[in-house]
Each structure stands twice: as C-alpha cells, then as structure tokens.
Amino acid sequence: MRKLDTKTIVVASHNQGKIREIADLIGPLGFSARSAAELNFVEPDETGTTFEENAAIKALASARASGLPALSDDSGLVIDALGGAPGVYTANWAETADGTRDFAMAMEKVEKALKDEGATEPEQRTARFVSVLCLAWPDGHTELFRGEVEGHVVWPPRGNAGFGYDPVFQPEGHERTFGEMSAEEKHGWKPGDAAALSHRARAFKLFVETCLEA
C-alpha cells in the first residue's frame, strides 16, 4: 500500500453532491483540494462494468491532467430484487433526453421496476449502497477502497437532504432514510471513530487507515 505524502489533491468528480460529501470528509484532515469540475477537466467516459473500474478511470484521468494525486468515488444503489440494478448504471437511470439528470424520475423508475417484480414488502426490497474510492497518482498507481451499507428501498421518498436516491434508501437499523438525515449523521466520520454509517464514509475510513495513518 502506498501512503499519501501530500495534503494537496484533486477530487475527481463533476457531481456536486459527491464533491460536497468528499470535501466534508477530507476537510478536517487538512487537505487542500480542488475538484475536476472547478478545474474544467473533461469528464472521462465511464466504460467500466464495476465500481472499481469506473472509480479508477475517473481518478487516473484527474491525476494525469493535474500532476497531483486524485481521489474519485464511484457509487450506486444495488437492489437485490432487480438483479443488482441499477448498480454501476445508477446515474444513467436518472439521465434525461437533454443530458441532465432527474433523480425524482430515477426513483420513480426504481419503484416501477420493483412493483413489476411484485416486491412490495420491505424484506423483498433489500438493497445496499456501494461506494468505491480510488486514490490515483500521476504515475498510474492506484489504491481502491470499498464501502457498503445494507438497507431497503422505501416508497414514497422521504426527506430533502442528501442527493440522488437518498430519499428512498433506509439503512438497516434506522427508522429514517438517508434523505431525512443530516450530513453529519449520514457521512460524518473522523479518525478515531469506531464506525461510519454511509457507504462513502465507510470507504473513506479505509482510505484514511490505509493511506494516511502511520
């Protein structure tokens, strides 16, 4: 495992929700970070078939464009009754004809697919959010960190916090959806904490333990 020996990195994302969550996680660690969106980097085509492959594509593109280490996230909602869909195509389900993303539409699409499968009870609607972080260096070296959180899909959507599919995902052991949780409750984590709740925070915990701690 390669240790990160700089506090200057690029957040390899154009997704403002992800950029905000990653900034919340790395900020307390003293990082100076700019996003690929701020730097006007071209978004690479995500041609991978796994979260790991797509995370690496994004991180390597930003690392090579900037000459700095870059941290990316590829994440998605994996629903058992739908054979793992939308999975790596989670963002694609939200795409509209004009190229924008409509997650209200995407959540309705998920609900229709579940109803078509006859999955109406919570035990039939089990799912997990998956996040894979990739830390890449300009020389092509990468480190990957995977975090998952189990739960189930609810309907109708609940809460206006978070982003993406958060309002329809209720994590195991909780009565509220990610959309009803504050940012601190959902993904707040700092070194020394024993546990992290969100998929992204769990992946970030592994990143810190592997690449930052002595």
Q: Which residues, listed in sequence order, are joined to residue 76 by a DSSP beta bridge? A: 130
Which residue reads 């024993």 in tokens? 194
Q: Are 100 and 149 in contact (CB under 8 A)?
A: no
Taking alpha carbons only, the member of 145, 30, 25, 12 closest to residue 68 is 12
Q: Can you tell me the distance from the alpha carbon of 179 to that of 158, in angstroms, rounded to the nearest whole number?
A: 6
- 10/33 Cα distance (integer angstroms): 5
Return the number of other C-beta atoms located less than 10 Å from residue 124's C-beta: 14
Q: Which residues carry out catalysis? A: 74
Q: Among 129, 180, 182, which residue's Cα sits nearest to residue 156?
A: 180
Place of tokens 């890449």: 136
Q: Give the DSSP per-residue string, 21-79.
A: HHHHHHGGGT-EEEETTTTTPPPPP---SSHHHHHHHHHHHHHHHHTS-EEEEEEEEEE
Longest pairwise C-alpha distance within the chain: 51
